Amino acid sequence: MFVFVVSMIERCDPTEESPQAICIAPTRELAKQIFEVASGLSKFTSVSSFLVVPHEKFPRRFNQNIIIGTPGKIHDVVGKRQLDLSRVKIFILDEADSLVETQGFIEQMNLFKNLMPGNVQLCLFSATYSTQIANFVDTLVPHPKMHVYLKPEELKIEKMMQLYIDCGDRDNKFNILSKVYSDINLGQCLIFVGTIKIAHIIKEKMERLGQTVAVLYGKGMDLDIRDNHG
């Protein structure tokens, strides 16, 4: 994240009051995180930035240098001609694999590309490189100047311990989770699950054991709660 945020800041000319760097992220939380990093790194420059996510108020016309947001809202403000893409120099897609799976995103991206200068720098970051992503890249950037691939072993964090535990069956998962949490001295812990229902079930079970637990998800959750937990 820091790498492409620095690149966005460096590509912007603060004397031009126009959007010159765009970054799209799949979720409100990630977009907000990128925006906070951009705001912090550009604190001692004249480069300005703006966060474009649902349920926020936007200017009639954007003149900030860096625009960071989610695909749907970026598409909305472009469609309403609040966001002019004609002077964009660098366009970032973070977690491109998740973005491509979003309904309608490929069509949106084709629209964005047609509205930007022909020499715009397009950068895609993805944790996985599926056939779907490869086809998307070939369509969006037929002849990219550079591909950077990392081997799976290069993605591992040296100080992070990774374990695989065979739980036997689904019903035994929580028992093993509780044992792991009690046997290892953990100050804070993130537990990823597949559905909102399971998240609430685990929360209730862990609270019965005396743990302080909060749930975080997108669909249907109050935005203030999401922002506070995020």
How do the domains of the chain map onto residue ranges? 2-151, 163-229
Helix (H, G, I), strand (E, B) or coil at 177: helix
pLDDT truncated to tens, each residue of the chain (230 aa)? 888 999 999 999 999 999 999 999 999 989 999 999 999 999 999 999 999 998 889 999 999 999 999 999 999 999 999 999 999 999 999 999 999 988 899 999 999 999 999 999 999 998 887 888 888 888 887 777 777 777 666 656 666 777 788 888 878 888 888 888 777 776 678 888 888 899 999 999 888 888 888 888 876 666 665 566 55
**For residues 86, 90, 96 and 100, what is the CA-based torsion angle, rounded to 10 degrees?**
20
Q: What is the pTM of this model?
A: 0.75
Architecture of domain 2-151: 3-Layer(aba) Sandwich (3.40)
Measure the CA angle with vertex 55, ends 49 and 65; round to 5°. Answer: 15
Measure the CA angle with vertex 174, ends 169 and 180; round to 5°.
110
